[in-house]
Structure 1
Amino acid sequence: MNQNPISYIDEKREEILRTYQELHQLAEPSWEERKTSAYIREKLTNAGFHVKTFSEHYGLIVDIQGESTDVIALRADMDALIQEVDGEICANHSCGHDGHSTMALYTALALAQSGKSFRHTVRFIFQPAEEKAEGALKMIEAGALENAKFLSGIHVRPALEIPFQKAAPVILHGSTASIQGFIQGTPAHAARPEEGNNPLEAAAFLIQAIRQIRLKDNHKYSIKITELRGGEASNLIPEKVQFTFDLRAETNETMDQLIKKAEHTIKKLAELTETNIEYSLGEYSPAAVRNEKAMELGKSAISAILGEENFVPECPSPGAEDFHFYTLKKADLSATMIALGCDLKPGLHHPKMTFNQDALIYGTKILTSLLLEADKKKW
């Protein structure tokens, strides 16, 4: 029997909470989400969805066909972290992806059972490997953004960012990257340093030079050494040193400038110290891009479900999210990620992270309301 999708979510409250608990127990690391994907696929198939799967990864895509081939979409991530919990190294859902998948799944079920005719095709993307910042790119390759005009996601937020029973229409993640490399020197005995070229000394010069990088940019940024390895004995000048620099920037444009400055500095230091420095860019994630139209829809959905008094304008975050690859690769895509207040403590990625599961219910309602509002718009 067809019913109002918001009422459906209330009716399925206990089932939603049970689904979250079952997904929580299925925690699997990036690219290994086999059981998680199968669980979600079974729920969708039983509800009558045709589920698109992929041989090279465990991502899923399902569509509710609309009058138009233009797509409004919702993305959820499925993977867990590998970390130590009570002395044991294991997969652990300490970033809330099990909750995100639960909310996206029941948004799909709520809209499908409503019997409503949609102006746009409504797409649900269940993505692997967010924690490695690789899954979004694979889903894009798989056609997740084909005909897409609007995309949303959701992320549970720490209590210090967004209070319980409140939400924001955008999470302003910054861009993150790392530069990893080796400094090749010439080994020698410490008693005869003139016969060698010490890569540790070159590393010291490099660290100081990197610290002096300045941009003519009003946005926040940082670059700092986070890894330095070299040397095997107290009386030997080593042949090689390994380093990693962590880069953070408020915007993609600032990150581009920071990377160029860092690369220029590395090349100049190699010349100055007469060492060979090999490096590469790794672990890159783009920054969020504000989209006022998408944010306005988010505000409307949050206000409709939680009331205007529980709407928070924005949620700045020092972290990263590979959700923003979708807008990086499709510049005309209207997209935003909802920040969900849920009394999350002590913090994201903490092995003992918990949150108030009541947020799963109103989070699902917000996503459902958001897609219903997005369907009314002309994109």
Structure 2
Amino acid sequence: MNKADCNKLDQYIRNVQEDLHRIPEPAFKEEQTASYIARELKRMGYFVKTGIAGTGVTATMPGKKNYPCVAVRADMDCITHEDGGKITYRHSCGHDAHSSIALGIAKHFSENREAITGSIVFIFQPAEEIMQGAKAMTDEGVLKDVDVLIGYHLRTEEECPMGSMAPALMHSATTIVSGEIKGKTAHGGRPHHGVNVIDVMATLLSAVNTIRSNPQSGTSITFTRISAGGGSLNVIPGSATFALDIRSRDNEELNRVISNLDSIFQNCAAMHDAKITYSIEGAVPAPRYSGRLIEEARESIEAVLGKGKAIPPIVTPGGEDFHYYTALSDVEAVYLGIGANVSPGLHDPAMTFEKKSLVDAVQVVSHLMGQLMKQK
């Protein structure tokens, strides 16, 4: 890509990001975002489908041959924040940037169709933040005929310096569990008439901490919500709620922890003559990447950004619903980390990043796609 074309593309991507940043929309409500994206893709000459899994969008363009088919996935939804009792929507995880990068790549190939030696697909998915979008899109068949899938995410300076990229982000499998404890309300002076859910909760906290996970798996089990009482101070509470955040780099280890939790819930309830119910509110699996694609990504990063600009894969405790695509299909996949100087951090309402990172990502992913389409 020559300097003039690069500058033109850079300005286009920045404009798109600014447009999308002004219309943040939460999970499965990305109507304006999806409409904007579809309109841009149609202008570029892509075959566009909308309304997939609610608000999802796909765009396809055939090349000189159908195989291999290389796809890029971008997420569209924003973060929901609570600020002084008021709900606000903000693109504080960079999904506006991710969609802008995908549109930049689409624009590059629409203007250089001779470079499409296989076929290309763009997948704009809803609801990544609630860990449901990728599964819903897969269920709708968006990976039909796709051989390779590429994803990416902006990163902080600490994880990936500006001007560099990582050929893989090693996320953790993540599961959110919410539960309810039912005891029996009683007078504070007559505890023998009731079942105090605070006592049950104390036992539950201690029991969960006895779960011993493999330290090599990076597994964590964290209570993120406990609530009981709230009425008169001389009343023994008869109901409580709780939530747990469970993470692991190993899917089997995470499943073992959840199985142990089920036993702990049953035993704690029986010990106190209480009832504990729970449900899985959201879950994403750990990555299943192609080693071949990680190496291809590393080579593309260095070819575009320069020698030494491909840092080692980043290990992160964060979860990502992208990994449902590989958990539910046989597609080969890779997920890159983009050095963007994200500050003060992802999911922070004041989150910002370096806009130059967008065109860097477009050039790297476009190069990677070009190389992959040449392969048999």
The within-5 A match list for 1:133-282 is 133-216=131-214, 218-231=216-229, 232-282=231-281
**Equivalent residue letter for 1:160:** E
2:24 is the alignment partner of 1:39? no
Deviation at 1:350, TM superposition (A): 0.8
**Equivalent residue letter for 1:39:** Y
Structure 2 unaligned spans of 5+? none
Report the 3-state secondary structure (helix = DSSP H, G, I; strand = E; otherwise coil) of the residue aligned with 2:217: coil
**Equivalent residue letter for 2:49:** K
Deviation at 1:33, TM superposition (A): 0.9
**Equivalent residue letter for 2:319:** A
User: Does the 8 A contact of 1:230 with 1:238 survive in 2?
Assistant: yes
- In structure 1, C-alpha distance between the alignment counterparts of 2:33 and 2:186, rounded to whole Å: 53
What fraction of aligned residue pairs are identical, expressed as a percent? 32
- In structure 2, C-alpha distance between the alignment counterparts of 1:165 and 1:233, rounded to whole Å: 58
From 110, 122, 143, give the equivalent of 1:112. 110
Q: Which moved more, 1:364-373 or 1:226-235?
A: 226-235
User: Does the 8 A contact of 2:109 with 2:116 survive in 1?
Assistant: no
CA spacing shift, 1:158–1:116, aligned 2, 3 Å: same
CA spacing shift, 1:80–1:337, aligned 2, 3 Å: same
**Equivalent residue letter for 1:303:** E
Deviation at 1:119, TM superposition (A): 4.3
User: Does the 8 A contact of 2:302 with 2:309 survive in 1?
Assistant: yes
Deviation at 1:217, TM superposition (A): 5.9
- In structure 1, C-alpha distance between the alignment counterparts of 2:52 and 2:249, rounded to whole Å: 36
- In structure 2, C-alpha distance between the alignment counterparts of 1:14 and 1:333, rounded to whole Å: 33
Deviation at 1:13, TM superposition (A): 2.0
| Counterpart residue number, 2:315 | 316
Deviation at 1:216, TM superposition (A): 4.5
User: Does the 8 A contact of 1:5 with 1:111 survive in 2?
Assistant: no
User: Does the 8 A contact of 1:153 with 1:337 survive in 2?
Assistant: yes
- Provide the aligned length of Structure 1 versus Structure 2: 374
User: Does the 8 A contact of 1:106 with 1:364 survive in 2?
Assistant: yes
| Counterpart residue number, 1:365 | 363
**Equivalent residue letter for 2:296:** L
User: Does the 8 A contact of 1:82 with 1:91 survive in 2?
Assistant: yes
User: Does the 8 A contact of 1:5 with 1:113 survive in 2?
Assistant: no
User: Does the 8 A contact of 1:210 with 1:224 survive in 2?
Assistant: no
CA spacing shift, 1:190–1:59, aligned 2, 3 Å: same
TM-score of the pair, normalised by structure 1: 0.94
| Residue-by-residue CA offset, 1:285-304 (whole Å, 9 max, x unaligned) | 21222320110111111111
CA spacing shift, 1:225–1:56, aligned 2, 3 Å: closer
| Counterpart residue number, 2:57 | 60
| Residue-by-residue CA offset, 1:98-126 (whole Å, 9 max, x unaligned) | 11101101101211221226443211001
Report the 3-state secondary structure (helix = DSSP H, G, I; strand = E; otherwise coil) of the residue aligned with 1:343: strand
TM-score of the pair, normalised by structure 2: 0.95
Structure 1 unaligned spans of 5+? none
**Equivalent residue letter for 1:33:** E
User: Does the 8 A contact of 1:5 with 1:368 survive in 2?
Assistant: no
Runs of 4 or more off by more than 4 Å in structure 1? 4-7, 84-88
| Residue-by-residue CA offset, 1:147-200 (whole Å, 9 max, x unaligned) | 222111111001111010000010111011122111111221111111111121
| Counterpart residue number, 1:22 | 19
User: Does the 8 A contact of 1:179 with 1:280 survive in 2?
Assistant: yes
CA spacing shift, 1:360–1:195, aligned 2, 3 Å: same
Q: Which moved more, 1:291-300 or 1:118-127?
A: 118-127
| Counterpart residue number, 2:284 | 285
User: Does the 8 A contact of 1:9 with 1:110 survive in 2?
Assistant: no
Report the 3-state secondary structure (helix = DSSP H, G, I; strand = E; otherwise coil) of the residue aligned with 2:347: coil
Q: Which moved more, 1:274-283 or 1:52-61?
A: 52-61
